[in-house]
Structure 1
Amino acid sequence: MENPLIWVALLMTLLPLAGSLLAGLLGKALGRVWTHRIVITLVGISFLLSCYLFKVIVLNGHPSVQDSFYTWATAGMLRFDVAFLLDRLSATMAMIVLFVSFMVHIYTIGYMADDPGYQRFFSYVSLFTFAMLMLVLANNFLLLFFGWEGVGLVSYLLIGFWFKREAAVFGSLKAFLANRVGDIGFILATAMVLMYFDSLTYTDVFRQVPLIANRMMEFIPGYSVPVVTMICFLLFVGAMGKSAQVPLHVWLPESMEGPTPISALIHAATMVTAGIYMVARMSPLFEFSPAALTFILVIGGTTAFFMGLVAVVQYDIKRVIAYSTLSQLGYMAVALGASAYDAAIFHLITHAFFKALLFLAAGSVIIALHHEQDMRKMGGLAAYMPITYITFVIGSLALCAIPPFSGFYSKDIIIEAVKLSTVPGAGYAYLCVLAGAFVTPLYMFRALFMTFHTNERMDPQLRGHVKESPWVVLVPLIALAIPSLVAGQLLIGPMLFAPDNLLGNSIFVLPEHNVLNALSTEYPGAKLMALEAGKSLTFWFAIAGIFTAWLFTAGVPQWSRLFKERFAWVYAILVRKYGFDDFNQIVLVHGTQDAGHVCYEVSDVKMIDTVCVNGSGRFIQWLARVSRRMQTGYIYHYALAMVLGILVFLVWYMVGF
Structure 2
Amino acid sequence: MSSILIIVFAPLLAAIVAGLGNRALGSFAAKLVTTGALFLSCALSWPIFLGYLGGDVPAAVVPVLNWVQSGDMTFDWALRVDALTAVMLVVITTVSALVHLYSWGYMDEDPDQPRFFAYLSLFTFAMLMLVTADNLVQMFFGWEGVGLASYLLIGFWFKKPSANAAAIKAFVVNRVGDFGFMLGIFGTFLVFGTVSIPEILAAAPAMEGASTIGFLGMRLDTMTILCLLLFIGAMGKSAQLGLHIWLPDAMEGPTPVSALIHAATMVTAGVFMVCRLSPMFEAAPDALTFVTFIGAATCLFAATIGTTQWDIKRVIAYSTCSQLGYMFFAAGVGAYGAAMFHLFTHAFFKALLFLGAGSVIHAMHHEQDMRYYGALRKQIPLTFWAMMAGTLAITGVGVLGVFGFAGFYSKDAILEAAFASGTEMGRTAFWVGAFAALLTSFYSWRLMFLTFWGKPRWADSEHIQHAVHGEHETPDEEHGDSTHANVHPHEGTAGYHPHESPWTMLVPLGLLSIGAVFAGFVFHHAFIDEAAFWNGSIAYNEGLIHAMHEVPLWVKLTATIVMLIGLAIAWLAYIRDTSIPEKTATQLGPVYRFLYNKWYFDELYRLVFIVPALWLGRVFWKGGDEGIIDRFGPNGAAWVVEKGAVAAKRVQSGLLTSYALIMLLGLVAAVTWVLF
Both proteins in one fold, TM over 0.5: yes
Q: Pairwise CA RMSD of aligned residues?
A: 2.3
Q: Could you report, residue by residue, the CA deviation over 1:186-232 in whole angstroms, capped at 9, with x for unpaired residues?
A: 101111111111111111111211333211112233x3111111110
Q: Which amino acid aligns with 1:487?
A: A
Deviation of the 1:584 alpha carbon: 2.1
Which of 515, 518, 539 is the matching residue for 1:508? 539
Instruction: Note if 1:430 corresponds to 2:430.
Output: yes
In structure 2, the residue matched to 1:203 is 198
**SS of structure 2 residue aligned to 1:225:** strand
Whether 1:490 aligns to 2:486 is no
The answer to whether the aligner puts 1:220 opposite 2:241 as a matched pair is no
Deviation at 1:78, TM superposition (A): 2.8
Q: Residues of 2 paired with 1:124 and 1:611: CA distance?
A: 46
CA separation of 1:435 and 1:82: change in aligned 2, threshold 3 A:
same
Structure 2 Cα separation of the partners of residues 207 and 499 of structure 1: 18
**Structure 2 counterpart SS, 1:70:** strand
Contact 1:287/1:510 (CA < 8 Å) preserved in 2?
A: no
CA shift digits 1:468-521 (9 cap, x unpaired)? 111111111010001101111111112211353x3232111466xx42232245
Aligned to 1:544: 565
Q: CA deviation at 1:284?
A: 0.6
| Paired residue secondary structure (1:69) | strand
Q: Which of 115, 119, 123 is equivalent to 1:120?
A: 115
Q: CA deviation at 1:254?
A: 0.8
Q: Give the CA deviation at 1:249.
A: 0.4
Greater relative CO (CA pairs within 8 A, separation 6+): 2
Match of 1:312 in 2: 307
**Structure 1 residue aligned with 2:503, among 471, 474, 485?**
471
> Among residues 557, 563, 569, which one is paired with 2:590 in the alignment?
569
Amino acid at match of 2:211: R
1:433 deviates by 0.4
Cross-structure match for 2:17: 22
1:587 corresponds, among 598, 608, 613, to: 608
Question: For residues 108-164 of structure 1, what are the alpha-carbon distances to aligned partners after superposition, in whole Å with 9 as ceiling and x for unaligned?
Answer: 100000001111111111111111111011111011001000111000000000000
Letter in 1 for 2:273: M
How far off is 1:437 after superposition?
A: 1.4
Structure 1 distance, partners of 2:240, 2:555, is 32
Normalization by structure 2: what TM-score?
0.86
* Pair 1:604 & 2:633 matched: no
CA distance in 1, matches of 2:643, 2:364: 74
- CA offsets per residue over residues 159-183 of structure 1, 9 Å max, x none? 0000001110011000000100000
Partner of 1:458: 458
Give yes or no for contact 1:294–1:423 (8 Å, CA) kept in 2: no
Residues 18-417 of structure 1 mapped to structure 2, 5 A cutoff: 18-59=13-54, 61-213=56-208, 214-221=210-217, 223-403=218-398, 404-417=404-417
| CA offsets 1:375-420 (integer angstroms, 9 cap, x no match) | 1111111110011001111101111111111101100110111112
How many Å apart are 1:261 and its aligned residue? Answer: 0.6
Looking at structure 2, the residues matched to 558 and 42 of structure 1 have their Cα atoms a distance apart, in angstroms, of 51
- Cα distance between partner residues in 2 of 1:318 and 1:612: 52
Q: What CA deviation, in whole Å up to 9, does each residue of 1:232-270 have, x standing for no partner?
A: 000100000000000000001111000001100111111
5+ residue gaps, structure 2, are: 399-403, 460-464, 469-492, 645-676
Counterpart of 1:59, as a letter, is G
In 2 relative to 1, CA 289–553 (structure 1 residues): closer, same or farther, beyond 3 Å? same
**Alignment partners' CA distance in 2, 1:619 and 1:8:** 69
Q: Distance in 2 between matches of 1:154 and 1:491?
A: 31
Could you say what secondary structure the match of 1:172 adopts? Answer: helix
Task: Please give the secondary structure, in 1, of the residue aligned with 2:536.
Answer: helix
The amino acid across from 1:217 in the alignment is I
Distance 1:547 1:132 in 2: 40
Provide closer, same or farther for how the CA distance between residues 34 and 324 of structure 1 changes in structure 2, counting only shifts above 3 A. Answer: same
How many angstroms apart in 1 are the aligned matches of 2:524 and 2:556?
19
Give, in angstroms, the shift of residue 533 of structure 1. 9.0
Amino acid aligned to 1:216: T
Contact 1:72 1:81 in 2 (8 A): yes
CA–CA distance in 1 between the matches of 2:395 and 2:371?
Answer: 23
Q: Summarize deviations over 1:70-105 as a string: whole Å, max 9, x none.
A: 122202343121111111110121011111111111
Contact 1:112 1:118 in 2 (8 A): yes
Report how far residue 616 of structure 1 moved: 9.3
Distance 2:109 2:632 in 1: 58
Moved more, 227-236 or 546-555: 546-555
Given the superposition, is the C-alpha separation of residues 441 and 608 from structure 1 closer, same or farther in structure 2, using an over 3 Å criterion? same
Partners of 1:320 and 1:219 lie apart in 2 by: 40
Measured against aligned partners, the alpha-carbon deviations of 1:347-383 in whole angstroms (never above 9, x if no partner) come to 0000000000000000001111111111111111111
CA contact (8 A) 2:350 2:390 kept: yes
Match of 2:661 in 1: none
Q: Which amino acid is the alignment partner of residue 392 of structure 2?
A: L
Say if 1:26 and 1:106 are closer, same or farther in 2 by CA, change over 3 A. same
What is the deviation of 1:430?
A: 1.9
Q: Secondary structure at the match of 1:71?
A: strand
CA spacing shift, 1:209–1:614, aligned 2, 3 Å: same
Q: Is the contact between residue 90 and residue 137 of structure 1 (CA under 8 Å) also seen in structure 2?
A: yes
Judge conservation of contact 2:352–2:509 (CA < 8 Å) in 1.
yes
Task: Report if the CA contact (8 A) 1:497-1:520 is conserved.
Answer: no
Q: Quick one: which amino acid aligns to residue 218 of structure 1?
A: G
C-alpha separation in 2, matches of 1:437 and 1:373:
25
CA offset at residue 42 of structure 1? 1.3
Q: Which moved more, 1:271-280 or 1:69-78?
A: 69-78
Q: Is the 8 A contact 2:531 2:540 kept in 1?
A: no
| 1:480 aligns to 2:501 (yes or no) | no
Q: Is the 8 A contact 1:186 1:237 kept in 2?
A: yes
What is the aligned-residue identity percentage?
Answer: 41
Residues 332 and 344, structure 1, Cα contact 8 Å, conserved in 2: yes
Q: Which amino acid aligns with 1:27?
A: N
Other structure's SS at 1:218 match: strand
Contact 2:127–2:266 (8 Å) recurs in 1: yes
1:442 aligns with 442
The amino acid of 1:367's aligned partner reads: H
Contact 1:284-1:509 within 8 A present in 2 as well: no
Mapped to 2, the partners of 1:471 and 1:307 lie a distance apart of 33
Asked whether the equivalents of residues 65 and 77 of structure 2 are also in contact (C-alpha less than 8 Å), the reply is yes
Per the alignment, residue 648 of structure 2 pairs with none
Q: Over residues 445-465 of structure 1, what are the superposed CA-to-partner deviations in whole Å (9 max), with x where a residue is unaligned?
A: 111111111110114635623
SS of equivalent residue, structure 2 residue 326: helix
